[in-house]
Amino acid sequence: MRIIGGRARGLHLAPVGAGDAAAHLRPTSDRVRESIFNLLINGGHGNPVQGARVLDLFAGTGALGLEALSRGASHACFVEDGKTALGLLKRNIALMRAEAETEVLRRDACAMGPARGAGFDLVFLDPPYGKALGEKAISACLASGWFAPAAMIVWEEGTPPLPPAGLDLVDQRRYGDTVVTLLKVPE
């Protein structure tokens, strides 16, 4: 696993192997991550990465949020509650030397509580597949002010999810066993 583009291009992140089933670690492959960023940056959506405040829910190793930082995001907040994943996440932030532009919150992404400060512009959501956790996390974040107006949400699932009420479906694509859904928060 490595950073695909931007200032940290080629940086190898902490190895996870095949993942950690007990900790629900299933890192987004380099190929899928590259496809996601190509879709975001070259897919006719402007460039929602440049200068963005990023929220990486179910962050795992942090590869999505760190990729966004490498490609020009201004800040990334990682939300993870697994002990194994938190260790890898903190190691990857250190490898990228991104401590000053990151924040790690150890909490359940489905019970975020009230947002502190402005909402986030770009949100990555990669929950354990098939458990309806994405829907719960999005609803919790919407209700608590975690998303900025017009925020872009990138949601990975094993099957095409139904967008929660009030969000606009922008795009949806399948990459192997991963379905990537782009949603937009209304302005």
35-45 pLDDT, tens digit each: 889 888 887 77
Q: In the structure encoding, which two tokens stand for residue 114, read together?
A: 């009230």
Strand partners, 12: 2
Question: Distances in Å between the alpha carbon of 27 and those of 46, 116, 121, 173?
Answer: 26, 28, 22, 18
Contacts of 137 (CB under 8 A, 6+ apart): 57, 58, 109, 110, 112, 125, 127
Please check whether the domain covering 21-184 is classified as CATH 3.10.20.440: no
Which tens digit of pLDDT belongs to each residue from 97-122? 999 999 999 999 999 999 988 899 99
Answer whether residue 22 shows pLDDT above 60. Answer: no
Residue 17 — very low, low, confident or very high, per pLDDT cuts 50/70/90? low
Residue 18 — very low, low, confident or very high, per pLDDT cuts 50/70/90? very low
What is the average per-residue pLDDT within 161-169?
89
